[in-house]
Chains A and B, each alone.
Chain A
C-alpha cells in the first residue's frame, strides 16, 4: 500500500495546568487495521483519543485523515470526518430508547419525526445484522445490561458513518464470552475496510485482536509494533519501562494489572490452609434503592486472614452487597456477625468501631470530602473517638500530626496535610481512603473495585496493603469487575449473578470461561457458601 494511512497524528501536545499529559505523541493507523493503544493508567491513551475526538483541544500537533490535514475542535467535527468513539463511561441518555439515543444529534431523514425514527430503526437493524450487534431498538436505555449498552454505543458510531472507531477500555465490564463476541464484531468491521483503535491496559486483549499496537507511558509514545513481531513478555517489558536493558519478569501483581496473568493456573500463593472463623453472614436480605429485594437469603463465611473475591458484571448487586457488608445499607432480615458480635441492626458508626472498613467503588462520590484537607479526610469516621479529642473538642494539632504520618507511611503525594483531597490524583485519593480504612484496625475489610483506574504502582500498593492486613488476621471481601484481579488475589472466588452466588471456586482451580458463564446466569446455581 503506497497511499497515505487512514489516520495520522503527529507531535500532539496537551497540557492540563502544570501537567504535561501528552508529550509530542505521534500515531499512525491504517485502513483494515485494529490498532491497540496500550499502556497503564495515566499513560495518556484516553487523552490522545479525546484530542482526536475533539473533546480536548491540543496545544500543538497535527492530525491527518486519508492524507488530508484536518482541524478537529469539537466532537461534531470528528463525527463529520468519520471518527467515532465509544467512551469508557457510556454517553447515553438513560431515559431515551435505543433508537432515540442513536439518532441524537443527527438530522433525521423523512418528512416527519416519526417517519425519521422508522427509517433510523431500519438502518439500526441493518447495522446490527452486518456486524453481529443485536439490540432491540425500542428498549429504554436504563433497563439494558452493560453489554447491550456498549453495542448501542458502537452502533451510534457506525450509524454516523464512522470509518475510524475508537474504543476506550471496552472489555472492562464484559464477560469473557462477550469479549469474544465484541472482538469478532471488530474483525468484521476491519474486514469491511474500517479502522479500529482499541485503548486497553491488558496485553492479552491486544494480542488477541490487534494487528498493530502502540505502547504509551507517561504521556509519551514508547514504541509501535506489529502483532507478529512481539509477545506478552516483550510488551509487558515495554509497558512497565525497560530501563537500561535490565528488564525483569513482572511480579504477580504487575502481571494482574497488565492482564498477562496466565489463566486457570495458580496465581499467587494459595496455601491449603483452613481459616479460623471470622465474619459470618446468615440469611441476609437486602433491598436496592428502588425498594426491590435484590439479595435474599445470602450466607457467607469469611475466615480470619481469608480473602473472598466476588466476580460479576456490574449491576448484579455488587454495590448493595458491599454497602451492606460495610454497615452502610440496612439488612431487611438476617444477620452479620464478627467473632459472635452481632452488627446488623446497628448504626454505621458502631460498625466502624467494631473494625469494619470499607473502600468504596466510586472514590470521588463515596470516598472523600473533596474540598477538605487530607487531615479532615483522615479524621472522618474516627472523629468521635476519644483519641482525637482533648476535653471534648477536636485536637486539630494531633489530627494534623496523624495526617502527616499517614502521608509518609502511605506515600501520598501531597504538599501538606492541608492539601485538598479533591486536588489529588485517583491513586493518591485511594491511598487516603486506605489510610483511613486501616486506621480503624480492621477486622473486616470490604473493597469494591479497589484498583480501577489506578496505575501499576498504586495497584501494587493496594495489593500489598491487603496482604498486610490479612497477615494480621483481618477478613477481606473483594468485589471486583476485573475477573483477573479477583482470581489473582482471592483465596476463594464467588460468581455474583443478580444478587446471588452463582458458583464458587478455590482460586487455584478456576476456569475463567466457567466463571463467565455463571456470572451471566448460565449453568446451575450453586448458592450458599461451602
Chain B
C-alpha cells in the first residue's frame, strides 16, 4: 500500500479533453465546437462581471478598470510586444504543467525550473561571453532546457524510485531554488551595481535577435510558436504522446497494455521542467539580459491556470495563454489608470477557472436533461 504517495487525484475536470459526444446528425461537429467554446466565453464574461462588481464595490470605476485590462495590449506596438514577451514564459510554464498533467502528474514547480533554466542559461552566457551568437545562443538555450529538466528530474526520481508525491516535491524544490539563485546572484556572478540580487550581464552573443522597429520583438516568440506546433502534433500523433494521454486516463489499464507508466510519468515531469527551463533561458536572452531574483514573477500560477483551462488540449493552450498574457499586461495599466491593485486580475483569473470548472456541471445537467 503506497502511503505517502497519495493516490493522485484524478484530474477529472482538468484532464484530457472531454468534448461532448456530438448530438444530432448533420450539425454534429458544429454543435461539438459550440459546446466546447461556450463554457469559456460564459466563464470569462461571468468572471468579469463579478470582478467588475468587486471593483465598483471598492469604489473604483469598473468600466475604466476593465477597459484598461482588456484593451491596453492592443493600443500600441509597445503593448503588443510586451504582451507577447509575457506570453512566452506563460505558455512555456503552461506546458510545464500540462504535459505532466497529461500523464496524471501535477508539476507545481515551474518557477523553480524556470529559475534554474535562467541560471543555466546565464551561466553559459556569462562564462563564454566572447563566443559568437551562432554558438552561444543555442548553447545557452540548451543549457536552460537541461537545467530546468534536471531540476524537475529530481522530483521525477523521487516519484519513480521513492514514490514521493510529486506535488510536494516540485513545490518544495521551488523554495530550494530561491535560495540557490540568491547564492548565484550574490556570491557567484554578483553584479554589485544592480541594486537588487542579479548576475552580471550575459555576452552580446547570448542575446536573442530583435524583430522589427523599436521596441523590438525578441525572436524567442517565433521559437515558442514553432514549439507549440511541434507539441500539439507530438501529443496527438506520436505513440509516446498517445501513451502519455493513456497513462493520464488510466495508469493501470495502460500498464497492463504494455505502457511503461512510471517511466512515462517521470519523463513527463522532465519534459515539463525542460519547457520551464527554456522559459527562463529565453527571458534571460530576450528580455532581462541577466538572471535576476524575482524574474519568475507569477508565471507558476499563470501556467497552472492556463494548463487547467486548456483541459488537455495542446492546441488550445497557446491561445488561452495569449488571453492570460493580455490580462496580465492590462493589469499594470489598470493600476495606473484606475488605481485598482494588480491582484484584482489574479482574482479574476481564478474566478474564470472556477466558473469553467462549474460549467462542466451545468453542461452535464443540460445534457442529462436533453
Contact with A along B231-272 (1 / 0, CB 8 A): 001001111001101100110111111111000000000000
A289 interface residue per 8 A CB criterion: yes
| A371→B249 contact, CB < 8 A | yes
| A371→B15 contact, CB < 8 A | yes
Given A365-B252, A369-B250; A418-B21 close (CB under 8 Å): yes
Given A370-B249, A393-B238, A394-B237; A347-B254 close (CB under 8 Å): no
| B252→A366 contact, CB < 8 A | yes
The smallest beta-carbon distance between B257 and chain A, in angstroms, is 4
Q: Which of A393-446 contact B (CB under 8 A)?
A: 393-394, 396, 415-416, 418-420, 423, 436
| B257→A352 contact, CB < 8 A | yes
Expressed in whole angstroms, the Cα–Cα distance for A217 and B246 within the complex equals 37
B18 interface residue per 8 A CB criterion: yes
| B246→A369 contact, CB < 8 A | yes
B59 interface residue per 8 A CB criterion: no
Among A365, A368, A380, A394, chain B packs the most CB atoms within 10 A around the CB of: A380
B286 interface residue per 8 A CB criterion: no
Contact with B along A375-387 (1 / 0, CB 8 A): 0100111011000
Query: In the complex, what residues of A have CB within 8 A of residue B233's CB?
Result: 393
Query: In the complex, what residues of A have CB within 8 A of residue B58's CB?
Result: none
| A368→B258 contact, CB < 8 A | no
Expressed in whole angstroms, the Cα–Cα distance for A360 and B256 within the complex equals 9
| B16→A379 contact, CB < 8 A | no
The smallest beta-carbon distance between B229 and chain A, in angstroms, is 14
| B246→A376 contact, CB < 8 A | yes
B195 interface residue per 8 A CB criterion: no
The smallest beta-carbon distance between B70 and chain A, in angstroms, is 34
Which residue of chain B lies nearest to A353 when distances are taken between CB atoms in the complex? B258
| A380→B21 contact, CB < 8 A | no
A348 interface residue per 8 A CB criterion: yes
B214 interface residue per 8 A CB criterion: no
Expressed in whole angstroms, the Cα–Cα distance for A347 and B261 within the complex equals 12
Expressed in whole angstroms, the Cα–Cα distance for A530 and B294 within the complex equals 73
Query: In the complex, what residues of A have CB within 8 A of residue B243's CB?
Result: 383
A351 interface residue per 8 A CB criterion: yes
Expressed in whole angstroms, the Cα–Cα distance for A381 and B250 within the complex equals 13
A389 interface residue per 8 A CB criterion: yes
| B253→A393 contact, CB < 8 A | no
Expressed in whole angstroms, the Cα–Cα distance for A423 and B21 within the complex equals 11
Contact with A along B140-183 (1 / 0, CB 8 A): 00000000000000000000000000000000000000000000
| B18→A289 contact, CB < 8 A | no
Given A348-B255, A348-B256, A394-B237; A419-B21 close (CB under 8 Å): yes
Query: In the complex, what residues of A have CB within 8 A of residue B9's CB?
Result: none
Pick the contact of A379: B238, B242, B250 (CB < 8 A).
B242
| B256→A369 contact, CB < 8 A | no
Expressed in whole angstroms, the Cα–Cα distance for A365 and B368 within the complex equals 25
Which residue of chain A lies nearest to B258 when distances are taken between CB atoms in the complex? A349
| B257→A380 contact, CB < 8 A | yes
The smallest beta-carbon distance between A517 and chain B, in angstroms, is 32
Contact with B along A7-21 (1 / 0, CB 8 A): 000000000010000
Query: In the complex, what residues of A have CB within 8 A of residue B260's CB?
Result: 347, 349
Given A372-B245, A418-B21; A380-B238 close (CB under 8 Å): no
Expressed in whole angstroms, the Cα–Cα distance for A423 and B243 within the complex equals 21
A328 interface residue per 8 A CB criterion: yes
Expressed in whole angstroms, the Cα–Cα distance for A55 and B212 within the complex equals 67
| A368→B253 contact, CB < 8 A | yes
The smallest beta-carbon distance between A380 and chain B, in angstroms, is 5
Expressed in whole angstroms, the Cα–Cα distance for A376 and B260 within the complex equals 17
Expressed in whole angstroms, the Cα–Cα distance for A351 and B18 within the complex equals 32
Expressed in whole angstroms, the Cα–Cα distance for A357 and B245 within the complex equals 22
Expressed in whole angstroms, the Cα–Cα distance for A380 and B16 within the complex equals 16
| A351→B253 contact, CB < 8 A | no
Expressed in whole angstroms, the Cα–Cα distance for A351 and B243 within the complex equals 17
The smallest beta-carbon distance between A202 and chain B, in angstroms, is 30
Which residue of chain B lies nearest to A356 when distances are taken between CB atoms in the complex? B258
The smallest beta-carbon distance between A375 and chain B, in angstroms, is 11
Pick the contact of B258: A289, A366, A381, A392 (CB < 8 A).
A381
Query: In the complex, what residues of B have CB within 8 A of residue A392's CB?
Result: 238
| B239→A383 contact, CB < 8 A | yes
The smallest beta-carbon distance between A387 and chain B, in angstroms, is 12
| A348→B258 contact, CB < 8 A | yes
Query: In the complex, what residues of B have CB within 8 A of residue A352's CB?
Result: 257-258
Expressed in whole angstroms, the Cα–Cα distance for A110 and B242 within the complex equals 60
| A367→B239 contact, CB < 8 A | no
Query: In the complex, what residues of B have CB within 8 A of residue A456's CB?
Result: none
Among A349, A368, A371, A392, chain B packs the most CB atoms within 10 A around the CB of: A371
Q: Which of B323-370 contact A (CB under 8 A)?
A: 368
Query: In the complex, what residues of B have CB within 8 A of residue A53's CB?
Result: none
A326 interface residue per 8 A CB criterion: yes
A497 interface residue per 8 A CB criterion: no
| A381→B242 contact, CB < 8 A | no
The smallest beta-carbon distance between B249 and chain A, in angstroms, is 4
B37 interface residue per 8 A CB criterion: no
Q: Which of A1-56 contact B (CB under 8 A)?
A: 17
Given A368-B250, A368-B253; A415-B258 close (CB under 8 Å): no
| Pairs of residues from A and B, 5 with the lowest C-beta to C-beta distance, nearest first | A349-B258, A381-B257, A393-B237, A369-B249, A348-B258
- 24 intermolecular pairs with C-beta atoms under 8 Å apart: A289-B1, A323-B256, A326-B256, A347-B258, A349-B258, A350-B258, A351-B258, A352-B257, A369-B249, A369-B253, A376-B245, A380-B257, A381-B258, A383-B239, A393-B237, A394-B238, A394-B239, A394-B242, A418-B21, A418-B22, A419-B21, A420-B18, A423-B21, A436-B257
**Residues of A with Cβ closer than 8 Å to B?**
17, 289-290, 323, 326, 328, 347-352, 358, 360, 365-372, 376, 379-381, 383-384, 389, 392-394, 396, 415-416, 418-420, 423, 436
Contacts A349-B258, A366-B256 supplied; 12 other A-B pairs, CB < 8 Å? A290-B1, A328-B255, A347-B260, A348-B257, A349-B259, A349-B260, A367-B256, A368-B250, A369-B254, A384-B239, A393-B238, A394-B237
